[in-house]
Structure 1
Amino acid sequence: MDPSPRDLFERMADEWVTRPGEVTGDQFADDVVIEMPFAPPGARGRFESRQDFLDFARPQRAAFPARIDGCRIIAVHDTADPGTIVVEYELSGISLKDGACSTAGFVVVLTAKDGRITRWREYQNVAAMQRALA
C-alpha cells in the first residue's frame, strides 16, 4: 500500500530534523512541481522536477547557517481530494553563527499520487526566516 500524503509529510519532517544538511528528495515524484508563492524578490519560486529542485536545494542546505532541530505539526487538513492535504507547521532551529533559537511558520498544500509527492506548494513566513538567519 502506498504511503498517504500525511505519511509522506511526516517522513519529510523527520528527514529535516534527523539528516541536517542532506536533501534526498525521496518523497518527491520525478515530475514534482514545487512552488513557493511568497518567495522573496529575486529568489526562485518554482521548480518543475525533482532533479531541478535537488540541484538548487542541495548546495543551499549545505550552506544553510542554521540547524533545524524540530518540526511541530500544528494541524493537518483534509481536502475533497484524498490525495491532497494542507499542513500547518513550524520549524525550529539553532543559528550556527550565534546559537540563537528561532521558529518560523509554514503552510503547505501537498498532493500525492502513487506514493510520491507530485505537488508541494509552500507558504513561508519569510519575515521570520529572515530574522532568524540575520
Structure 2
Amino acid sequence: MPAPTSPADLYRHSLRLLLDKNIPAWVALWAEDGLMEFPFAPDGWPRRLEGKEAIAAYMRHYPDHIDLYDFPDLRIHQTDDPQTLVAEMRGVGRLRESGTPFDMTYIAIVTVQEGHITSYRDYWNPLAVQEPGADFTGSSR
C-alpha cells in the first residue's frame, strides 16, 4: 500500500511507523533534501538535520533507546498553507536502558510536498533530556 499523500494522513502514518519501530519506512517518507529542526534542543544536541541521510542517521537507533507505546492526545491543525500542519501530541512509552516511563509532549510544524515530508520543526521539552538515561535517539549529541 503506498504511503498517504495528504499532510495529515502522511503524518498519522509516520506516527504508526514509529510505534511499529519501522525506522527505514519512516525515513522513506522524507524528501531527499528534507529538513528536521529542534528549536528548543539543549546545548550539545543537534538543532538542525539537513537531508534524508542525516535524518536517517539520527533516528537509526531510536527504537534501541525508547519503546514508544502510543501517541495519545493527537490533534492536527490545518494552516493557511494546505501543505503545512501543526500537530500536538504526547509520546508515551519507556526508556529501554532504565525502564523509566517516558511521557513527552510535542508540538510539530510539518510541511509535506509531493507526498514527502520536506520540513519538520519539533518543539519538545528539553528539560526531559536532563533526566538520567534520557538519550532516546542514540545519536551523537
Task: Give the structure-2-normalised TM-score.
Answer: 0.81
Change beyond 3 A, Cα 1:95–1:48: closer
Deviation track 1:43-68 (CA, whole Å, cap 9, x = no partner) reads: 1111110112112321x42541x311
Q: Percent identity?
A: 26
- The number of aligned residues is 131
SS across alignment from 1:104: strand
Is the contact made by 1:103 and 1:128 (CA closer than 8 Å) also made in structure 2? no
Task: Give the structure-1-normalised TM-score.
Answer: 0.85
CA root-mean-square deviation = 2.2
Alignment of 1:1-134 (within 5 A): 3-19=5-21, 22-24=23-25, 25-58=27-60, 60-61=61-62, 63-64=64-65, 66-131=66-131, 133-134=133-134
2:137 aligned partner:
none
Extract structure 1 runs of 4+ deviating beyond 6 A: none
Return the structure number with greater strand share. Answer: 1
Structure 2 gap ranges (5+):
135-141
Q: In structure 1, how many angstroms separate the alpha carbons of the residues matched to 2:100 and 2:113?
A: 39
Is the contact made by 2:107 and 2:122 (CA closer than 8 Å) also made in structure 1? yes
Structure 1 gap ranges (5+):
none
